[in-house]
């Protein structure tokens, strides 16, 4: 891995709340999921342990087993983008560009991490990366393409998804002192949403 990729991976992990002290900030399902996202992003599946996730989340391993059942079930939950997609696409096409930006920022704040970037930065074995990308394509890109009208709907959906990933990566890379960290969600939407909206509207 080159230095740029390493920096991006580190930024992604920080976007999911890697900053010191966060692990004990909360307990329960969301704390477990945040810890699992970090673990599965930074390490191959075989190296991730329930005990390690539990320690990061500030809970007992038995609680993870109670909530999720197994490491495989936990991974499958982390590899599911439907909940984020439900919120991202909950607007009519004429207002979707701005809604996408505002919702991305809100989701990052709520979950202390980016809801989409793990599809890019996962370091798992090929089967795991393939699963994440297939889920992302089905649950995000293809779903968006089905809602678009006009020519090149699939291509436009892929470009929109890429721009959303780019927004998340940019905000992560320049945390905590970048201009994006200090700009409000509305200002980010003012600058970023018009390009998204052009792709949504089509030719």
Render pLDDT for 147-162 as a digit per residue (tens, 0 to 9): 999 999 999 999 999 9
Lowest model confidence (mean pLDDT) among 1-15, 22-36, 92-106, 189-203: 1-15
pLDDT band at 122 (very low <50, low <70, confident <90, very high): low
pLDDT of residue 176: 82
**Dist CA 27 CA 17 (whole Å):** 14
pLDDT of residue 15: 38
Residue 191: pLDDT above 90?
yes
pLDDT of residue 29: 86
Residue 126: pLDDT above 50?
yes
The chain-wide mean pLDDT, for the chain, equals: 83
Average pLDDT of the segment spanning 159-175: 92
> Per residue in 65-100, pLDDT tens?
999 999 989 988 888 999 999 999 999 999 999 999
Which one has a higher pLDDT value, 42 or 73? 73
pLDDT band at 124 (very low <50, low <70, confident <90, very high): low
Whether the model pTM is above 0.85? no
């Amino acid at each position: 891995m080159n230095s740029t990729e390493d920096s991006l991976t580190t930024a992604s992990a920080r976007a999911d709340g890697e900053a010191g002290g966060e692990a004990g900030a909360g307990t329960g399902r969301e704390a477990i999921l945040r810890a699992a996202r970090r673990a599965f992003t930074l390490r191959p599946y075989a190296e991730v342990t329930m005990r390690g996730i539990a320690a990061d989340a500030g809970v007992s391993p038995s609680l993870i087993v109670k909530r999720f059942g197994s490491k495989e079930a936990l991974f499958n939950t982390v590899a599911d983008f439907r909940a984020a997609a439900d919120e991202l696409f909950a607007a009519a096409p004429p207002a979707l560009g701005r809604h996408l930006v505002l919702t991305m920022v809100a989701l990052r704040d709520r979950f202390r991490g980016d809801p989409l970037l793990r599809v890019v930065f996962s370091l798992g074995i090929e089967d795991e990366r393939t699963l994440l990308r297939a889920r992302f394509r089905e649950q995000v890109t293809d779903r968006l393409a089905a809602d678009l009208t006009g020519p090149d709907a699939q291509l436009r959906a892929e470009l929109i998804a890429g721009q959303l990933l780019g927004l998340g990566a940019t905000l992560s890379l320049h945390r905590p002192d970048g201009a994006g960290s200090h700009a409000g969600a509305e200002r980010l939407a003012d600058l970023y949403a018009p390009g998204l909206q052009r792709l949504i509207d089509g030719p």
